[in-house]
Amino acid sequence: MGGKNSVGFLILIIGIILIPFMVTNDYYLGVLIFTAFNCLACIGLCLLMGYAGQISIGHGAFIAIGAYTSGILTAKFAWSPWLAMFCGILIVIVIAFCLGIPALRLKGHYLAMATLGFASIVHIVAVAAVDLTGGPSGLVNIPRLDFFGYVLSSDKQYFYFSWSVVALGVYIAFNLINSRVGRGLQAIHGSEDAASSLGINITSYKVQVFILSAVFASVSGSLYAYYMNYIDPGPFDVSHSILLVTMVAVGGLHNIWGALIGAVFLSLLPEFLSFLSDYLQVLGIAYQPDYDTLVYGFILLIIMLFLPEGLFKGFGNITQFVRSIFKKFSKRASDRVK
Amino acid sequence: MKKRILILSMAVTLLFAFSTPSLYAQKKAGLKDYDVGCVFAKTGKASWLGEPEWNTAEMIAKEINAAGGINGHKLVLHLEDTGGENTRAVNAVKKLINNDKVCTIVGPSRSGTSMAVIPVVQAAKIPLVSCAGAAVIVTPVQERKWVFKVPQRDSDCVKRIYDHMASKGITKIGIISGTTGFGAAGRTQLKDIAVEYKLEIVADETYSPADTDMTAQLLKIKNAGAQALVNWSIVPAQSIVPQNMKQLKLAIPLYQSHGFGNVKYAAAAGEAGNGIIFPGGRLLAADTVPDTNPQKKVLVDYKAAYEKTYNDTVSTFGGHAYDSLWIVINALKKVGDDPATLRDEIEKAEFVGTAGIFKMSPADHCGLGKDAFEMLTVQDGKFVVLKD
């Protein structure tokens, strides 16, 4: 990890430790726990999109496989949650391998198409395989995670656990980026031909990253299932996969911190709007939840128009922009005085 | 220029600073408010459920507060939108419990979201009166201490359909269901109860909510030799089934579930919808319910009030919000807003509502029987009580 990144990592760790001391309300902690699940999936997706230059519109499916493997093995067969989570990871590795080999051998966005189709298939299976997945009625009685009998029952405990996993994910991601593989990936992103001429096995690198990102998604799904204690196919449809891609794009493709910021921003936005509507109601303005869609669209439009490189880079640009405006104003003011 | 911006920003800050405390000042005067949470799918894929529920809840709160509140306490509704999504429903319920300190929660609209929030309300010990249909929401009852629901049971709906079939001498049936929580639960019930009635299910088909054509499934049912068809679904796609049947000239009786209970579905089916038979709450055909029925006054009053306020036709789903909120209000009237005593009171509730005559008990957190349904049929795009 480089200098700036280790400072960022330190801030992340301190934040994780301190937040439950400042936030004791279970509602806020719950929102932050869901945010952690999204962050985890987005870190993996960012490695794939930002560093290997491939888009997956099927990460919701990997989340679903993680969640359903964990849910089915624990609720129906009384396995240990850890073993079930591990089993989910293995299944996802095999599937991502089979899906990635043919799709990533080709140039262009074939992976996006393959994953899009795959996501639809997984969703259909989750809906139709009633005996296995519970179908649309869902799967109940999924247990909470425990450490040798010590159950993570409170939201505070689960907050620490899930964000520790996110921190671990960030650490792994940075280690990968600063390794030989990471540099190879950046070379592929720059130019496949050039990278290949330098002896980089393009397909193998891309498949490896794809598998890694799928594993991140699977773990996120398992944690989701253990936290909710109930799953149904609803949260794992294609629109969730697209939301994840949007999170990474909004935050900034080319940086892990960007992906984290994007995931946090879009996870908190609906709750923020819900607060805004409460506040406006107090002021006597009737704010209907239907307007949320308009607000989302507006925000995404603004980001894509003015911050095309994402929030992370855009933030730096904005501070520069504001500074330049202030300079202009003060210059004008001083001119006027003269 | 700078000055103007400064003044403007100061004005805005002052506005924000003073608006919030003034609300709290109001709260202190008089008796304390009763805070009730509502979680409905006002937007998203289940908005046709959430919208009338949301409207109904707002309408009732206005009416109660205009009449001086509940024993002098103002009824404050905290409405939250779930978008029909599990995660947002869980967040909304946690917000209501932790921030708004509600004493009870009405909703959610969908079976899936109801199942998702059950672990939260069970842990927080806050009563929840769901507006969703699936039987698993309140069974097994020992694991659902804090959870109630107001829509009629799907198993009772199936029994009413099968009773009617038995009276017509039908023995071989086909079933087709939507792949949603509602559809899947109904499909299980249809298959289980068919054994009791010695009915043979010769074809069992499904369709997804996004499907636009069910010809393939209907052909299979036709070839299997079904004497009648049950279409069990709550999504708008169900209206396509009668249309496809007409195109295929499949002239067997079509039965629908209580999920057909929105007159817009009958309108969407058009001419092909005429003659559809389904067990529904009496609300849908309030005008044709006999005057002797104890529900008549509630039905007509609610229907008139809703249609006058929102200029929209009434649906079963708004009726669920009416029932659940009134059960909560009646309990609040008797015992006040302590969640634990409120729960015990809801468990004893006896109430004449839009869905039927409720009689809750520790063994039954729904409280409706088979008689809550009336066999209805479609006549020129309108619901009327079936005569035979």
CATH code at position B42 = 3.40.50.2300
The pLDDT of residue B21: 44
Domain final position from B280, B309, B334: B280
Residue A136 touches partner B, C-beta closer than 8 Å:
yes
Residue at token pair 């994910």: A169
* pLDDT at B13 exceeding the cut of 70: no
**Phi and psi, residue B352, nearest 5°:** -90, 110
What is the pairing mode between strands B104-106 and B34-40? Answer: parallel
pLDDT tier, A207 (very low <50, low <70, confident <90, very high otherwise):
very high
The C-alpha torsion from A102 through A105 and A109 to A115, rounded to 10°, is 30
> What b/e readout covers A215-244, taking b as 16+ CB neighbours within 10 angstroms?
bbbbbbbbbbbbbbbbbbbbbbbbebbebb
- Contact list in B for residue A30 (CB cut-off 8 A) is 90-91, 94
Sheet holding B382-385, edge to edge: B200-207, B172-178, B228-232, B254-256, B277-280, B374-379, B382-385
* pLDDT at B26 exceeding the cut of 80: no
The pLDDT tens digits for B246-255 are 999 999 999 9
**Phi and psi, residue B130, nearest 5°:** -75, 150
Residue B189 within a domain: yes
Q: Is B163 exposed, middle or buried (0-12, 13-18, 19+ CB in 10 A)?
A: middle
Euclidean distance between CA atoms B386 and B282, whole angstroms: 11
Percent pLDDT > 70 in chain B is 93
The distance of A180 to chain B (nearest Cα, Å) reads 39
The pLDDT of residue B171: 93
Please indicate whether, in this complex, the C-beta atoms of A30 and B42 are within 8 angstroms of each other: no
The pLDDT of residue B52: 92
Among B2, B42, B95, the residue with its CB nearest the CB of A27 is B95
The distance of A284 to chain B (nearest Cα, Å) reads 10
**Phi and psi, residue A31, nearest 5°:** -60, -40
pLDDT tier, A309 (very low <50, low <70, confident <90, very high otherwise):
confident
Residue B227 within a domain: yes
Please indicate whether, in this complex, the C-beta atoms of A234 and B112 are within 8 angstroms of each other: yes
Q: Do B178 and B251 reside in the same domain of the chain?
A: yes
Domain count, chain B: 2
The pLDDT of residue A307: 82
- 10 Å Cβ neighbour count for B288? 16
Residue at token pair 């990968």: A176
The domain ranges of chain A are 3-269
* pLDDT at B24 exceeding the cut of 50: no
The pLDDT of residue B12: 56
The pLDDT of residue B261: 81
Please indicate whether, in this complex, the C-beta atoms of A136 and B112 are within 8 angstroms of each other: yes
Q: Give which of B57, B64, B112 is closest to B89, Cα–Cα.
A: B112
Contacts of A92 (CB under 8 A, 6+ apart): A62, A65, A66, A211, A214, A215, A217, A218
For residue A284, the number of C-alpha atoms closer than 13 Å in the C-beta half-sphere is 4
Q: Is B140 exposed, middle or buried (0-12, 13-18, 19+ CB in 10 A)?
A: exposed
The pLDDT of residue A134: 87
DSSP state of A50: I
DSSP state of B272: G
Q: What is the mean pLDDT of residues B144-151?
A: 94
Assess: ipTM above 0.85.
Answer: yes
The pLDDT of residue A313: 80
Among A128, A271, A333, the residue with its CB nearest the CB of B91 is A271
Q: Do B178 and B143 reside in the same domain of the chain?
A: no
Q: Give which of B78, B89, B77 is closest to B44, Cα–Cα.
A: B89
The distance of B182 to chain A (nearest Cα, Å) reads 8
Please indicate whether, in this complex, the C-beta atoms of A228 and B206 are within 8 angstroms of each other: no
Percent pLDDT > 70 in chain A is 99
* pLDDT at B300 exceeding the cut of 90: yes
DSSP state of A144: P
The pLDDT of residue A52: 85
The CATH number fitting domain A3-269, selected from 1.10.3470, 3.40.50, 1.10.1580, 1.10.150: 1.10.3470
The distance of A83 to chain B (nearest Cα, Å) reads 23
pLDDT tier, B25 (very low <50, low <70, confident <90, very high otherwise):
very low
**Phi and psi, residue B278, nearest 5°:** -155, 145
The mean of the pLDDT values for chain B is 88
Euclidean distance between CA atoms B74 and B334, whole angstroms: 15
The pLDDT of residue A295: 85
* pLDDT at B1 exceeding the cut of 60: no
Q: Do B158 and B145 reside in the same domain of the chain?
A: no
pLDDT tier, A281 (very low <50, low <70, confident <90, very high otherwise):
confident
Euclidean distance between CA atoms B388 and B301, whole angstroms: 27
B348 is written with which tokens? 């004893």
Residue type, A251: G
Q: Do B350 and B252 reside in the same domain of the chain?
A: no
Please indicate whether, in this complex, the C-beta atoms of A136 and B181 are within 8 angstroms of each other: yes
pLDDT tier, B289 (very low <50, low <70, confident <90, very high otherwise):
confident
Q: Do B163 and B274 reside in the same domain of the chain?
A: yes
Q: Is A207 exposed, middle or buried (0-12, 13-18, 19+ CB in 10 A)?
A: buried
Euclidean distance between CA atoms A118 and A104, whole angstroms: 15
Domain residue limits at B211:
154-280
The pLDDT tens digits for B36-92 are 999 999 988 788 889 999 999 999 999 999 998 899 999 999 999 998 899 999 999
**Phi and psi, residue A44, nearest 5°:** -60, -45
pLDDT tier, A328 (very low <50, low <70, confident <90, very high otherwise):
confident
- Contact list in A for residue B55 (CB cut-off 8 A) is none
Q: Do B134 and B185 reside in the same domain of the chain?
A: no
DSSP state of B364: B
Euclidean distance between CA atoms B273 and B269, whole angstroms: 5
Residue A294 touches partner B, C-beta closer than 8 Å:
no
The pLDDT of residue B64: 93
Q: What is the mean pLDDT of residues B257-265?
A: 86
Higher pLDDT, A71 or B46: A71
Q: Is B94 exposed, middle or buried (0-12, 13-18, 19+ CB in 10 A)?
A: buried
Q: What is the mean pLDDT of residues B135-151?
A: 91
Residue B37 within a domain: yes
DSSP state of B211: -
Question: Could you give the angle at the alpha carbon of B39 between the alpha carbons of B184 and B51, nearest 5°?
Answer: 80
Please indicate whether, in this complex, the C-beta atoms of A30 and B90 are within 8 angstroms of each other: yes
Classify the phi-psi angles of A37: left when phi > 0, otherwise alpha if psi is within -120 to 50, otherwise beta: alpha
The distance of A105 to chain B (nearest Cα, Å) reads 34
Question: Could you give the angle at the alpha carbon of B173 between the alpha carbons of B172 and B179, nearest 5°?
Answer: 155
CB A64 within 8 A of CB A234: no
Euclidean distance between CA atoms B79 and A304, whole angstroms: 32
Please indicate whether, in this complex, the C-beta atoms of A27 and B87 are within 8 angstroms of each other: no
The pLDDT of residue B23: 46
- Contact list in A for residue B112 (CB cut-off 8 A) is 136-138, 232, 234
Higher pLDDT, B30 or B270: B270
One DSSP character per residue, B240-269 reads HHHHHHHHTT--S-EEE-GGG--HHHHHHH
The pLDDT of residue A237: 87
Please indicate whether, in this complex, the C-beta atoms of B2 and A333 are within 8 angstroms of each other: yes
Query: What angle do helix axes A256-282 and B2-28 make, rounded to 10 degrees?
Result: 60
Cis peptide before A143 (omega within 30 of 0): no
The distance of B184 to chain A (nearest Cα, Å) reads 6
Q: Do B208 and B163 reside in the same domain of the chain?
A: yes
Rg (CA), chain B: 23
The pLDDT of residue A290: 78
Q: Do B236 and B309 reside in the same domain of the chain?
A: no
Euclidean distance between CA atoms A14 and A248, whole angstroms: 23
The distance of B275 to chain A (nearest Cα, Å) reads 30
Euclidean distance between CA atoms A85 and A88, whole angstroms: 5
The pLDDT tens digits for A222-265 are 999 999 999 999 889 888 999 999 999 898 888 899 999 999 99
Q: How many CB pairs under 8 A join A and B?
A: 96
The pLDDT of residue A278: 81
The pLDDT of residue A333: 78
Q: What is the mean pLDDT of residues A98-105?
A: 89
Among A124, A137, A283, the residue with its CB nearest the CB of B136 is A137
pLDDT tier, B345 (very low <50, low <70, confident <90, very high otherwise):
very high
Residue B294 within a domain: no
pLDDT tier, B22 (very low <50, low <70, confident <90, very high otherwise):
very low
Q: Do B317 and B356 reside in the same domain of the chain?
A: yes
- 10 Å Cβ neighbour count for B208? 15
Q: Do B148 and B40 reside in the same domain of the chain?
A: yes
Euclidean distance between CA atoms B199 and B52, whole angstroms: 37
The pLDDT of residue A185: 87
Q: Do B141 and B166 reside in the same domain of the chain?
A: no
Q: Do B265 and B176 reside in the same domain of the chain?
A: yes
CB A70 within 8 A of CB A242: no
Euclidean distance between CA atoms B309 and A326, whole angstroms: 52
Q: Give which of B250, B191, B199 is closest to B220, Cα–Cα.
A: B250
- Contact list in B for residue A27 (CB cut-off 8 A) is 91, 94-95, 97-99
The pLDDT of residue A191: 85
Q: Which of A23, A25, A27 should one mutate to test binding to chain B, selecting the residue with the greatest count of B CBs within 10 A? A: A27
Q: Which of B2, B24, B114, B115 should one mutate to test binding to chain A, selecting the residue with the greatest count of A CBs within 10 A? A: B115
The pLDDT tens digits for B347-372 are 999 999 999 999 999 999 998 988 88
Sheet holding B147-149, edge to edge: B75-81, B34-40, B104-106, B128-130, B147-149
- Contact list in A for residue B2 (CB cut-off 8 A) is 329, 333
Residue B9 touches partner A, C-beta closer than 8 Å:
no
CB B185 within 8 A of CB B241: no
The pLDDT of residue A254: 84
Residue A26 touches partner B, C-beta closer than 8 Å:
yes
Euclidean distance between CA atoms A159 and B233, whole angstroms: 39
CB B41 within 8 A of CB B49: yes
Domain final position from B252, B280, B308: B280
Please indicate whether, in this complex, the C-beta atoms of B99 and A127 are within 8 angstroms of each other: no
Euclidean distance between CA atoms A61 and B101, whole angstroms: 37
The distance of A267 to chain B (nearest Cα, Å) reads 10
The pLDDT of residue B15: 54
Cis peptide before B294 (omega within 30 of 0): no
* pLDDT at A69 exceeding the cut of 60: yes
Residue ranges of alpha helices (H) inside A252-310 are 256-282, 291-306
Please indicate whether, in this complex, the C-beta atoms of A290 and B85 are within 8 angstroms of each other: no
